[in-house]
Structure 1
Amino acid sequence: MSFDHFAKVSDTPLWRAEMALPAIPAAHVEPREDVVVVGSGYSGLNTALHLARGGRKVVIIDAGDVGHGCSTRNGGQVSSQIHRELDELAKEYGEDGAMRILGTGLESHQYFRQFVREEAIACDYAVCGHFIGAHRKDRLRGLKAFGELQQKIGTQAEMVPQERVGEFIDSSHYHGGVHLPDWASVHPGKLVAELVRLVLAEGVRIVPACRATEIEDQGDHITLNANGKAVRAEHVVMGTDGYTDGASKWMERRIVSLASVVMATRPMPKSEVSALYPRASMVYDSRMNVSYHRPTPSGDRVMMGTVVPVDPDNLAACYPRAHSNLLRIFPQLEDISIDHVWSGWVGATFSHLPHVGLHGRIGYAIGYNGTGVAMSAYLGRALARKMLGQPGGETGLDQVPFNSKPFFHGQTWYRRPVLAWHDLVDRLPSRGTTIG
């Protein structure tokens, strides 16, 4: 009988299993509210925190549990990455505008690091470095260009030849890569719990299992339904990212939801995990359908996320491919069972950039394209300052229009053909200086 790696698997994210939320006082949504924040993840919590400290009365609602979305389903990567190239952005916004956009990545990480320190946030923040490995030798050219761009922005980056890959990971899969020594990691669930602690201390109410629908800007106020209850508010904040639905038709047309599947092994001896990751680094490959992995903060598990087709109603269907991606990197884990498998939806945008601002009375910090841990903190503060009329709310992203595409209304049919196309590209020779 073959070994069943998933015999005792749980679909609860490891981060949620390990987090301890503060006691959340019972609360409800009033018929009249000052600010209603939709979404209790990083974006909503960060924005609510700064709005409350600025004197606004805030209630956070979420269709699920607190932090149910990607805030407790991500890999815990903390980077300064922006998913666009300088030359491409310069054609649209000029050299200075492009550098301001790319610089928001570095600014967001610098802000997040200071925020964690000043607020004494116990989220296992660690400057572990990130290693991006070339899954094909011809991807090294793209990684070199990526590293040079990071250096131009002000981020440390060094090329790693194939003979040095073992300094970062015990795998023969990579042909070299680039190392970002200043990039970091967190425990996503602990970060959510700490943000909840902060907002509760400022008097913010949190109402889980409360779905927002029919959000409409009436000009001098906002109307919405909260679990079918009519609510009138001065402002609504959309902090829904990849979990954006039709509650706001305007927002639904601007967010594309992309999925990844994440798995965590059973506990292993810490010496075995540290042998796999000598520097405890975050590791990625250079695929468009990327795989990302790390040792967990406890040091006794391997966690890997991978972009594969996902059926939310049949998560087990993606187990074989996700597990094969793990064994592609670490064949030595063939006999290690998997304790947790979960999926999460990432909010992408047509600009491939995050967005922050106000559309009438709807505020938004959204569309992180997979790099939201630090950026959501930075843009949450920026959005709050914009809404409060305070200085310091300006960002390099303010120049980027938040556009949709004709005939797009949040459809999901495109996911499988897009992933299939990316699979093909990942097998082909490099197209130039891009990573994928």
Structure 2
Amino acid sequence: MASDAVFAEGFRTTPWWWDGFTPPEDPPAELPQAVDVLVVGAGYAGVHCALTLAEHGRDVLVLDAERLGWGASSRSGGQVTGGANVGKTPGGGNAIARSAAVERRHALLRDAAAAMRHLEATIERHQIRCGWRLSGRLTALWTPAHRKSWEARLDDLNTHAGAEASMISREAMRAEIGSDFYAGGVLIRRGGHLQPAELFGGLLAAARAAGARAHGMTPVQAIERVPGGWQVRTPRGTVRADQVVIATNGYTGPLIPALRRRALPVTTHMIATEALPAGLAQRIMPRDRAVSETRRVVNHYRLSPDGTRLLFGGRARFFPAEERVTAAILHRLMTERFPELAGVRITNSWGGKVAVSFDYVPHIGQHDGIHYAMGCNGSGIVMMNWLGHGIARKIIEGGSAPVNAFDTGGAPTHPLYHGVPWFIPVVGTYYQVRDWADRRRA
């Protein structure tokens, strides 16, 4: 199919998740003069932090420079797992397994599993209608060589993360997905997918019902320490806060340069196909799994909540490119895996930023007295909700003891990194070449 022909009539460069989704209202109101806690960033981490704080009687205000939920929380692939990606490096290995004590690794896995249980309980408690399905996550092996490293991880994943994971042979993959593209896979039964924008909308509604306030289009211009707390300046006025939380993750800007240096913002792209012909969706995804690959430059995909179209994502390009260019690249990658989709057109193409920490582990911590959550590493739905909840617990409990294994006090950085990831195109292209070479050798 010619590149221009891949686009459906009415093609849009906005997330498919936004189609038919009503963004949460941002009622006009003056900002309060003072609050107990001011949260910068209205994504999962910020809103979940506000929800927990408000439920414990704290006066909390959430501010965002864009529309509420505009960032990664309504742009992701909607895949949900607890623990499978903790410490995972771009090479498919496990940084934690190599560099940390065994008990540290096990603690991270246990808390990642707790994070998923917490998210499930939150969805149930607030009756959030977001298409949540515990249909399993399939990790597709890019080459046969990746089987060994995953086999070595299974015991830890099952014992400490409760992943209910098992290896899938190349032959058995045909029953999982309608493609012979992979060398086998790993089925993680404690996984699934949901509609991320609707999850965000439900969390925001719950936080507001508990008493939290949230305003979009209100960028924070400065945060200054004053006696007994902080003064936060915005174009709409200044707010006094006892405590401040930064929850901007992959969209962290120069407001606090030291935080900007603790994570690498990496843009990932997605496309949504038009509604597939009758029976085609069931042939290519008969068990409605969420799928992610073991290659360094990951592709991931799943069916839409109504089961009618494929949502396909990954790092299409590491150099800046407009949405039609990245859409054409993803369409080509999609049809390499599913040749039956060659004539299927794209209705939506969009991008969003994930934050990759230097140790590939999510973190909550403090910098000069300001709390922060950072480093989703591509697992933002579970981890950013958990990190936001964890910061709220720190504030509520008022202690210095860690509340979970991701409460490390501070995320690491690198002395040569100053917040502008100029090297991402070079490193990303290198990883793409490595993936191509590994596949060719296999």
Aligned to 1:4: 5
Q: Contact between 1:309 and 1:415, CA under 8 Å: does it hold in 2?
A: no
Whether the aligned pair in 2 keeps the contact of 1:310 and 1:318 (CA below 8 Å) is: no
Paired residue for 1:78? 80
3-state SS of 2:270 partner? strand
Q: Return the letter of the residue paired with 1:4.
A: A
Q: Which residues of 2 match residues 19-418 of structure 1 at below 5 A?
A: 19-80=21-82, 81-84=84-87, 88-89=95-96, 92-153=99-160, 154-218=162-226, 220-227=228-235, 229-269=237-277, 271-310=279-318, 314-389=322-397, 394-399=403-408, 401-418=410-427
Give the Å deviation of 1:23: 3.6
Alpha-carbon offset, residue 220 of structure 1: 3.2
Q: 1:280 to 1:289 in 2, by over 3 A?
A: same
CA RMSD of aligned residues (A): 2.3
Instruction: Specify the code of the residue in structure 1 equivalent to 2:416.
Output: F
Q: Residues of 1 paired with 2:20 and 2:94: CA distance? A: 43
Mark the CA change 1:135 to 1:49 in structure 2 (over 3 Å): closer, same or farther.
same
SS of the aligned residue for 2:61 comes to strand
Counterpart AA for 1:40: A
Deviation for aligned residue 1:55: 1.7
Alpha carbons of structure 1 residues 306 and 393: separation in structure 2 relative to 1, 3 Å: same
SS for the counterpart of 2:5 is: coil
Query: Which TM-score applies when normalising by structure 1?
Result: 0.92
Structure 2: runs of 5+ lacking an equivalent: none
Query: Can you list the C-alpha shifts for 1:33-57, whole angstroms capped at 9, x where unaligned?
Result: 3322111111111000111112221
* 1:309 CA displacement: 2.0
1:433 paired residue number: none
Q: Report the Cα offset of residue 407 of structure 1.
A: 3.2
Shift in Å, 1:28: 3.4
Over 3 Å counting, the alpha-carbon distance change for 1:192 and 1:88 in structure 2 is closer
Aligned-residue identity in percent: 27
CA distance in 1, matches of 2:272, 2:94: 38
SS in 2 for 1:421: helix
Where 1:412 maps in the other structure, the secondary structure is coil
Tell me if structure 2 keeps the 8 A contact 1:79–1:371: yes
Cα deviations by residue, 1:4-30 (Å, 9 ceiling, x for unpaired): 112532011011223234443223323
Question: Cα–Cα, structure 1 residues 188 and 90, in superposed 2: closer, same or farther, change >3 Å?
Answer: closer
Q: Aligned equivalents of 2:395 and 2:330: distance in 1?
A: 42
1:220 and 1:208 map into 2 onto residues whose CA distance is 27
- Give TM-score, length-normalised by structure 2: 0.91
Q: 2-side partners of 1:184 and 1:4: how far apart?
A: 32
How far apart, CA to CA, are the structure 1 residues paired with 2:42 and 2:271? 23
Counting matched residue pairs gives 430
- Stretches of structure 1 that go unaligned for 5 or more consecutive residues are 431-436
